[in-house]
Amino acid sequence: MYENPLVFISNDFKRDLANKFEKYSTICEDGIASWIPGAESFNETGYFGLNKLNFSDYIHFFKNYFHNRFIVKTHKSPLVSRVKSIKTFKELIPIREELINSCLSEPQGMNFLIGKSCGGTIENPKGELPLRIKRYFYEAKTSLNYAKENNLDELHILVGCAHELPLEYLLKNREILKRYSL
């Protein structure tokens, strides 16, 4: 199971999250799934081939890792420091609200990313969608399929804050999902 080594989350927080969600049907981003017994992983790293990095990808990864871990350490934002010190799910709520409030509403957020990458909008992109948008579509479709295959009336989806609004939008506007095959 993949866990992002650039994100440092306290073991206390991981235990609290596990205690809150282990009784529920839960699907999560790859790293988060490893914290919760019985949680299903999206397996995004496998689906998008991120588990098949070549030598230069590893060099680039480790260069960024050491840069972020040791050099940029003194330039961290107060928000990053607050996230690193979280021990309970309850402590995450105000930080999550702060992050969500800084995001564009949807579909404007996805359209902004598409516009910067390939041009167009979610309704009419001018080229290939950026990986981040493809991940949103993949997560939404995988969540729907998992709930259907397991005959679930309720499914908890645990993702990073940046994914919440796009996923909510896509799950409420399923006709958009039907237009794209991934």
* pLDDT tens, residue by residue, 119-174: 999 988 898 888 889 999 999 999 999 999 999 999 999 988 888 999 999 999 99
* SS3 assignment, position 34: coil
**What 8-state DSSP symbol labels residue 111?**
H
Sheet order of strands, 156-158 included = 40-41, 26-28, 156-158
User: Residue 44 has what pLDDT?
Assistant: 83
Output the CA torsion sign for 85, 87, 93, 94: negative
d(CA 137, CA 178): 10
pTM: 0.76
Taking 60 as the threshold, does the pLDDT of residue 5 lie above it?
no
Q: What is the mean pLDDT of the chain?
A: 81
Query: In 43-72, which positions are buried (b, 16+ CB within 10 angstroms) versus exposed (e)?
Result: bbbeeeeeeeeeeeeeeeeeeeeeeeeeee
Lowest mean pLDDT among 20-24, 55-59, 82-86: 55-59
Helix (H) or strand (E) segment spanning residue 28: strand 26-28
Q: Angle formed by the axes of helices 11-21 and 89-101, to 10°? A: 90
Distance CA 91, CA 80 (A): 13
